[in-house]
Each structure stands twice: as C-alpha cells, then as structure tokens.
Amino acid sequence: VEKAYQAMQEIANFDRLGLKYYKQIGYLPFDKQGESVSKTLEYSYDDWCISQLAKNTGKKDDYDIFHQRAHFYKNVFDTTTNFFRGKSLNRNWLVPFDPLKNSAYSEGNAYQYLYAPHDINGLINLMGDNKVFSSFLDTLFNLETGKEHSGSIGQYWHGNEPSHHLPYLYNYSGESWKTQKYVNQILTKLYSNSPDGLAGNEDCGQMSAWYILSSLGFYSVSPGQDIYVIGTPLFNKATVHLENGKQFTIVAENRSDKNIYIQSATLNGETYTKSYIKHKDIIEGAKFIFQMGATPNKNWAFNIEDRPYSENGEQIVSLPYIKLGKKLFKHNTEITVACDTKNTKIYFTLDNSEPNENSKLYSTAIKVENSTILKIRAYHQILKNTITVTTKFEKAKYLNAQNLKSVSNGLNFQYFERFFVTTADLDKEQPIETGIINKFSIDRAQGEKYFGYIFDGYLKVKKDDIYTFYLKSNDGSRLYIDDIELIENDANHGAIVETGQIALKAGFHKIKLKYIQCGGGKALNVSWKSSKFTKQEISEKVLFN
C-alpha cells in the first residue's frame, strides 16, 4: 500500500501534461494545454482518490493538500452558463462558447463532461439547487441536434466512457425514478448480442463492466467511494458468489419489460429506502429484494438522507496566483499577487518556509534582487485556507557559449515513421532517413498521419541576454538548449504554444527539438525574442551543425 501511495503521489506532482499549471493556478488553461477541461476534471478526481488513501493511512498533511486539490474542478465551472468551460492562462473564459462543440474536451462536449463524480453535492451547489441540476440532466438526455454519435440518447453518449455515470446522477437530486428509466433504456436499447453489440469502443472492458454492474441494479459512480448507486435490475434474480464464500443475491419481483420502476425494497428483510448500497453490505452477504412496477414511485429514495452522499460541496478559497513578476530577471523584479476569492488575506515567505498567519502579509509589490523562492497562501475568516503555492524567481546566470572551430549551415535531422505516444518514444527507434535541413520544419515529412523528427545542431546568439523561446506544435514536442529541457509541449494535442526562458552568452549554443505527429492536424513553429528584438521565427541564418 505504501509503495502504491508513493507512486500515486509522485505522478500527481509531475510537471508534465499540464500539471505544472494545475498545481500553480488550480486548472489547465486552454491556451496552454489541449483538452484542458477534461484533464482538469480528471486530475481533480484523481486527487480525491489520493486524498482518501492518505486519510486512511494517517497522512493528514498529504490529505489536506490533495483534498483541496480535489476541489480544483470548480475553477473551470462557469456559473453564468452552468457548464465546465475552457479558461485561459489570464483567467478569461473561452469565447465563443458552444456547449455542443468539442472546444476544450477529450472526445466530447460540455454536456458530456459533467464530471466531478467525487463531489456531486458540490456540483449541485455550483448549479444552484436540486431542481436546476435535474433540469440540466433532463436537457442532456433530450436535446437532439441530428448530429449525435451512435449509442446516444440526446447528448448522453454511452459510446464514450466519461458519460457513464450521468444516468445515475438523478439519485443525488431525489429523482431516482429517472435514473431507473434511462438505465433501463441503455441496457435494453444500446446493447445487443450481435457482433456490434456494444455502443462504442470496449476500452479495457468498461463498456462491459457498466453493463454487468447496471444489470445487477447498481453502479460505482465514484470509484474509491464505499457506495454503489442504485439503478434498476435487469434480471428477476441474480446471485454474486463472493471470494469470501458468501453470496449477495438481488431479486426483482414482478420485473418485466414494462415493470422497470422500483416501488420498494428490502435488505435482509428490513425496509430499505436508500438509492445506494454500501460495499460492506455486499461483501458481508445479503439478500436485496426490489418490488417492481410499471409506474414510477417518486417518493422512493426521495428524502435527502436516502440519497447517495459524496463530498460535502464545501466552498473553497481560490488559489492565490502571481499577477506580475519576471521569473527570470537581470537585476531585480517586482512581484504582485492576487486571489479571486473576496475578503482573503495573502501571507508570504521568501526563505522557503511555509507561510502562515504569522508570516508577512501581502499589501504591496514584493521586490526581489536575488534568486528567491516565493511561497504564498490565502486565508479567509470563514473558509479553509489554501494550500501553499510555490514559485521560483531566478536572477539570470548566463550559460557559456560553445567553443566551435567550424560550423556548417543547417540542422541535423532524423526522420521516423510510426505512431508515437510521447517524444521519449523517438529514442527507442531507428530513423528511416537522416540528413541536413535548413530550419525547424516538418514540410518534408512523407508520412500523412504518424511520424516524428529529431532536430539538433547549434543556435548562434549575438548578445548576452535573456531569451524567450516559443514552441508551437500539433502534436507533441520538446525543446532543449545546451542539454537543458527548456519547453515541454508533449503528447497528442492540437496546436498549442508553450514558452521557456533562458539566459545565454553570445556565441554558439546546442539546440535540440523532438517532434511527433499523432494523426489529424499538424504544425511546428519555433520562435524566440530578446530585449533586442521582437518575437520572430528562428531563421536558417542562426542555425548550424
């Protein structure tokens, strides 16, 4: 368990795949990461899972950190539209916004990414109340445009797994009968015993797992939680033979094609009114009996205490953030910070210690003249204080230039053809072509869908200065200067620009770029600027081998 926890913690604290933004500002900006909303929501749920393991193993400090990160999903929820929505690095919502289009999501739209399974109560609070939440779900299942994928009911797309929890969410707002209606419709209309009997890609067994659990009458809306949310059983009787030798039996009396609605239920002979069942009730062995009917019993599991529970939907203080300040500076820089939550106080330290209410209170710009680690934390009189946000500000140390006796124009290149997941995969393959190319370009690529490049050579710098590099790619790329990874823009995504800064002395410096194309659109552009010139593409005039 300890090794598993260490692995989870390490992965959650990587700086790759947008996590550096997630940790610094509490979400992934759409102008820096493809599928930014989907990733923010997924990371938030992942952090909740980590927080539960931390809690159960007595790691209180870790629990506090990951539990707060589990609420970061709220940072991309737009209360003016009641959708999760792309947000930029400068904290502006993505416009124009159409919830039916895939603008910042992975294989889906804003309706399908109603995704915060660990905190459905918090989601209800964000939307307004139970009535608004149920109304949203009604629209989700009934809105048709004529452009839906196969395996859809309105905007609900069973063929893609991020939607699989949605039919069960009515239980949280007290309308479990609607969950029963749509779960039965999915079970009977979107599955069949034919070669194309699944509504979408099996994806490691999830399509089948949903069917098996749902046909028994329940589903794990939030894996990691100790409950299963009740839908409607498909069979008159089913018995689960448990590893401990006990049996869990589900009986659906009067079940028929029309009798799909739960009228009442008993668990081990006792009246049962909840629309969820605990894991321990299953593994201890039990008999769960449902009385079924053709019309909904809207009173069953209606009371708040009978609805599934999740996180408590508490409000959180937004992470404080750096508003102004040069992270790499020549002489000094002035730093201003802010917090979007009203009536907060921001405390900070400059000595790498953890800030608290005894630390310096932020009131005016912080001026630093040497390399500094700034730690900030926001406090509120009522709400829980934030976790610490750490930012490094570095005084420039100029990298020495290479002492080269002779160079030739152009970069070395290696060209590969196959499907790559990340740029690291390039190092495992042999190129099918090598040679010299005048600048960073993928125009000569022979492959239409899947290919990769490694470019390397030298960049000629005219002046000692701080240089900003811009790496735009579709799909993945990484840029190295003097063997230092300066920009990570890796994996499969649309055309995204990432930046990096470095202080260089005049002369020749190693430069290397890795690029992969994963299908669809493709793009590669490498630009730079300094205090002496504005942003421009790196031209063949300064590239050598």
Segment 523-539 shows an average pLDDT of 97
pLDDT in tens, 265-293: 999 999 999 999 999 999 999 999 999 99
Please name which of 437, 443, 344, 427 lies closest in space to residue 386, comparing C-alpha atoms. Answer: 344
Q: Could you tell me the pLDDT band of residue 134, with boundaries at 50, 70 and 90?
A: very high
What pLDDT sits at residue 34? 84
Domains and CATH numbers, the chain: 1-116 (1.20.1610.10), 162-316 (3.30.2080.10), 321-395 (2.60.40), 411-544 (3.90.182.10)
Please work out, in degrees rounded to the nearest 5, the angle formed at the alpha carbon of residue 454 by the alpha carbons of 449 and 459. Answer: 135
Return the residue matching tokens 């979107």.
190
What pLDDT sits at residue 203? 84
Which structure tokens are listed for 526?
């490498």
pLDDT in tens, 494-518: 898 999 999 999 999 999 999 999 9
| CA–CA separation, 302 and 281 (whole Å) | 21
Average of per-residue pLDDT values in the chain: 95
pLDDT exceeds 80 at position 312: no
pLDDT exceeds 80 at position 314: no
pLDDT exceeds 80 at position 198: yes
| CA–CA separation, 442 and 411 (whole Å) | 13
What pLDDT sits at residue 315? 80
Q: Which of 138-142, 200-204, 424-428, 534-538 has the lowest mean pLDDT?
A: 200-204
Please name which of 152, 177, 147, 150 lies closest in space to residue 164, comparing C-alpha atoms. Answer: 152
What pLDDT sits at residue 160? 86
What pLDDT sits at residue 189? 96
Which structure tokens are listed for 354?
């953890």
pLDDT in tens, 430-460: 999 999 999 999 999 987 789 999 999 999 9
- Helix (H/G/I), strand (E/B), else coil: 483: coil
For the chain, percent of residues with pLDDT exceeding 90 = 89
| CA–CA separation, 323 and 335 (whole Å) | 7
In degrees and rounded to multiples of 5, residue 399 shows phi and psi of -75, 135
What pLDDT sits at residue 150? 84
For the chain, percent of residues with pLDDT exceeding 70 = 100
pLDDT exceeds 90 at position 102: no
What pLDDT sits at residue 313? 67
Which structure tokens are listed for 500?
């990096």
Four-residue CA torsion sign, 170, 171, 175, 181 = positive
Q: What are the residues whose beta carbons fall under 8 Å from the beta carbon of 433, sequence distance 6 or more?
A: 414, 415
Q: Could you tell me the pLDDT band of residue 15, with boundaries at 50, 70 and 90?
A: confident
Segment 50-56 shows an average pLDDT of 96
> Which helix H or strand E contains 283, and what residues bound it?
helix 279-283
Q: Could you tell me the pLDDT band of residue 200, with boundaries at 50, 70 and 90?
A: confident
Which structure tokens are listed for 532?
């002496």
Read off the amino acid at residue 362.
Answer: Y
Higher pLDDT, 534 or 199: 534
